[in-house]
């Protein structure tokens, strides 16, 4: 009996040893024969000596750069989106008053009513780069539109090209209405529209010196088109988007940074165009007395014909007013428009 118990115990020990052996890591065999090397890849293009390949991207695509843009943009009229609810969804207005409308316009889509328009934001004007060869092609800032702009309302195809990002501004900052025309050539005009003005964006045409009413026999000569110093020696971007120490002007506020004016105006930019404010006030009073505008300068609808030159004078008053630069965009042109308008109503 003792022998049987001993044999059983030995069998349990042996089976335990077998189990341990079966579940332990396998013993590695010898190294196999090495495989054949793969085909060499194609050599990459050498980078510029000493320059990180991502440096040109990181210059803009970093948080500190973006925060400065966002902070200044929030102070702009574009970000405020005051006209989005009223005009942002209307098919004829949305192209300049909402994000969706502008993208439709700039990408060649038809003007349609927009059910839920949103304010103009970063991706309204910016999408993706057209080039990454910034050294040779220049930085396009990923703007959707930087090419020359053909104005909508000129009789002949009039193209404005600043050669930089300012072209993007011209897309919207142009008139929506034309100066009056004496179709019957009878010297009279029936002014029946309370929106008798070039809308709110004649800045580009003021810079060019076009689209104002040319009053016959006006004593103040009109300057040659396209010769204004702010047209030939500056641009929208250089005056309205230069760097600003306090972040309250320039950059993406789009408010003129007067420090940048010292590049040309070494003694500081003039605060006004000499004599223009006084002439505008005189013209306002005369148009008010004629019943063509109210106290606030709003255009009044007429039920009878008025002298054509008077209609031209009203148009010039509203053109200079709606430009909002107080003549600074094109001082000689603005002064000529108002001087000749005053003569016409006097």
Angle between helices 276-289 and 308-323 (to 10 degrees): 130
In the prediction, which pLDDT does 5 show?
A: 59
pLDDT tens digit sequence for 49-103: 555 667 778 888 899 989 999 999 999 999 988 899 989 999 989 999 999 999 9
- Chain centroid offset of residue 276 CA: 29
Per-residue CA distances from 72 to 107, 121, 130, 324 (Å): 27, 12, 25, 21
The DSSP-derived string for 201-270 is --HHHHHHT-SS---TT-SSPPPPTT--HHHHS--HHHHHSS--SSSSSSGGG----TTGGGGT-TT---
Assigned domain for 99 exists? yes
Q: Is residue 193 assigned to a domain?
A: no
**Is residue 157 over pLDDT 60?**
yes
Residue with tokens 């306090």: 246
* pLDDT tens digits, 183-223: 999 999 999 999 999 998 899 999 999 999 999 999 999 99
Instruction: Answer whether residue 18 shows pLDDT above 60.
Output: no
Rounded to whole angstroms, how far apart are CA atoms 98 and 103? 9
Please count the residues of the chain: 346
| Count of domains for the chain | 1
- Is 41 inside a domain boundary? no
Q: Is residue 112 part of a domain?
A: yes
pLDDT of residue 292: 97
With respect to residue 121, please indicate whether it lies within any of the assigned structural domains: yes
Q: What is the pLDDT of residue 99?
A: 95
Q: Are 75 and 253 in contact (CB under 8 A)?
A: yes
**Residue 197: inside a domain:** no
Instruction: With H, G, I as helix, E, B as strand and everything else as coil, classify residue 86.
Output: helix
Instruction: Report yes or no on 132 lying in a domain.
Output: yes
* Listed range (129-138, 164-173, 248-257) with the worst mean pLDDT: 129-138
124 three-class SS: helix
292 in a structural domain: no
**What is the pTM for the complete model shown?**
0.82
Domain that holds residue 94: 65-144
């Amino acid at each position: 009996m003792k022998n049987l118990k001993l044999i059983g115990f030995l069998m349990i020990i042996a089976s335990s040893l077998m189990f341990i052996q079966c579940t332990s890591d396998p013993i590695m065999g010898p190294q196999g024969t090495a495989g054949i090397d793969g085909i060499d890849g194609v050599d990459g293009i050498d980078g510029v000596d000493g320059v990180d390949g991502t440096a040109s991207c990181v210059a803009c695509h970093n948080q500190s750069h973006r925060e400065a843009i966002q902070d200044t943009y929030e102070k702009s009229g574009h970000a405020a989106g005051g006209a989005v609810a009223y005009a942002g969804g209307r098919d004829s207005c949305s192209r300049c008053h909402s994000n969706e409308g502008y993208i439709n316009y700039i990408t060649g889509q038809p003007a349609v009513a927009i059910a839920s328009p949103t304010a103009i934001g970063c991706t309204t004007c910016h999408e993706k780069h057209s080039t990454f060869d910034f050294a040779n092609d220049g930085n396009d800032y990923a703007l959707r539109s930087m090419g020359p702009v053909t104005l909508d309302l000129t009789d002949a195809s009039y193209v404005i090209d600043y050669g930089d990002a300012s072209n993007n501004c011209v897309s919207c900052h142009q008139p929506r209405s034309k100066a009056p025309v004496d179709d019957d050539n009878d010297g009279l005009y029936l002014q029946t529209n309370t929106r008798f003005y070039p809308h709110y964006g004649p800045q580009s045409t003021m810079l060019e010196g076009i689209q104002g009413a040319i009053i016959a026999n006006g004593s103040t000569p009109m300057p040659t088109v396209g010769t204004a110093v702010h047209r030939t020696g500056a641009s929208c971007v250089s005056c309205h988007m230069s760097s600003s120490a306090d972040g309250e002007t320039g950059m993406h506020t789009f408010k003129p940074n007067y420090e940048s004016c010292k590049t040309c105006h070494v003694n500081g930019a003039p605060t006004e165009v000499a004599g223009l404010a006084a002439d505008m006030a005189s013209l306002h009073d005369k148009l008010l007395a004629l019943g063509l505008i109210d106290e606030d300068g709003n255009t009044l609808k007429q039920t009878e014909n008025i002298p054509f030159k008077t209609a031209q004078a009203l148009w010039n008053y509203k053109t200079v007013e709606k430009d909002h630069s107080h003549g600074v965009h094109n001082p000689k042109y603005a002064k000529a428009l108002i001087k000749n308008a005053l003569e016409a109503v006097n």
